[in-house]
Amino acid sequence: MKEFATNFTFILVVALMVVTPLYAQGTEVEIFPSKDNTLYESASGALSNGAGQYLFFGLTNGSLIRRALLAFDLAGNVPAGAAIETALLRVTVTRTISGSQTATAHRIERDWGEGTTNAGGEEGAGAASTANSATWVHAFFDGQNWDSPGGDYEPGTLTSAQVTNGAVEFPSTTAFVAVVQSWLDTPGDNFGLILIGNESTSASAKRIGSREGSEANRPRLVVTYSVPTSAEGVELPSFLTSMSAYPNPASGVARIAFDLSDSRDVRVDVMDVTGRLVATPVAGFLPAGRHDAHIDTRTVTPGLYLVRLLSGGQSASRTIVVQ
């Protein structure tokens, strides 16, 4: 057993030197919204503001709800196959009549429209909805409705912040990073975020800059990512077009993403430094295309692990550090 462990350690070192991808460390990109809008509480869906300079969330002094919609083009700003390391949202509050309020960000579940409505003035009341505007009732005015008035979104909070006045940052979280990664991996499912403020206290609404407003006040998604590449002289097996492990280091759920060039039987094993098999998240026939294996790193001892993908007598490996 000692000899095996020693040999495995040597193999693992070789994997680190030869097979493990190199990463472009900590590349940061700042992404402005590709579209944004405000949902103004209205039973008819008559109000919108997709072309206005401001967005709103919270409860007005007339006890009407406002919610802000934001979408960001990940695929157009981050290389395909990149591993998202951090993701945070920055907004600028330009008007408020209340003190600090909690706001939460949630993932939108369906596509929606920006439209051309420009409320003008202070914009708090909105203006008449135009074609394809998102409204309280409609994902696209005046045709497609939300399943639930006020927008269709996942209830789980991705990130939250105490919102006062001026610059506000919604910090990076594991959940937020996972969603941003999914936007990059599957752009067709990227419908953006909804910001929800305090909806139980009158006059708690906050106004923030929109993408049409001054550049200094525009919302922005700040993403840090790494791009995995094979080490010099080492290529992936012919059946693999990419393979990456992220986040790395991992402290929650780690993902092993890989692209198959054809349909085939695949096995993914996770081993510790002694060569002990820790998990086999994938074992079976998979179609060609993108696949993700999830590993709950909370159930294993912190340390270095080897992830090995095997198929047809060929293999590729990646290492991952569990914190």
Q: What are phi and psi of 155, to 5 degrees?
A: -70, -25
Quote the radius of gyration of the chain (alpha carbons, Å).
23
The number of C-alpha atoms within 13 Å of 234 and in the hemisphere containing its C-beta is: 19
- In a shared domain, residues 195 and 244: no
- In a shared domain, residues 211 and 108: yes
Per the DSSP assignment, residues forming a β-bridge with 127 are 48
- In a shared domain, residues 38 and 178: yes
- In a shared domain, residues 265 and 314: yes
SS3 46: coil
Q: What pTM did the predictor assign?
A: 0.68
- In a shared domain, residues 44 and 182: yes
Please say which residue of 164, 198, 226 terminates a domain: 226
pLDDT the model gives residue 18: 36
- In a shared domain, residues 87 and 182: yes
pLDDT the model gives residue 228: 57
Q: Nearest to residue 81, comparing CAs of 318, 243, 239? A: 243
* Host domain of residue 291: 2-21+230-322
pLDDT the model gives residue 82: 80
> Which residue reads 């949202």 in tokens?
89
Q: Nearest to residue 259, comparing CAs of 180, 185, 179, 181? A: 185
- Split the chain (323 residues) into runs of 10 and give each run's mean pLDDT: 36 37 64 98 97 98 97 91 88 96 98 97 97 98 96 96 97 92 90 98 97 96 76 66 82 86 93 82 93 86 86 84 83
E strand or H helix that includes residue 87: strand 83-96
Domain tally, the chain: 2
Residue 182 DSSP code = H
> Can you give the CATH number for the domain in which 255 is found?
2.60.40.3080
pLDDT the model gives residue 225: 85
- In a shared domain, residues 13 and 135: no
144 Cβ contact partners less than 8 Å away, ≥ 6 residues apart: 138
- In a shared domain, residues 211 and 89: yes
Please say which residue of 226, 255, 277 terminates a domain: 226
What secondary structure does DSSP assign to 234-282, as a single string? ----TTEEEEEEESSSBSSEEEEEEEESS-EEEEEEEE-TT--EEEEEE
- In a shared domain, residues 255 and 309: yes
Q: Which amino acid is at 261?
A: S
CA distance 135 to 102: 23
- In a shared domain, residues 152 and 183: yes
- In a shared domain, residues 117 and 239: no
- In a shared domain, residues 123 and 156: yes
CA distance 109 to 92: 25
Return the C-alpha torsion angle 207, 176, 303, 7, nearest 10. -140
Please say which residue of 192, 226, 260 terminates a domain: 226
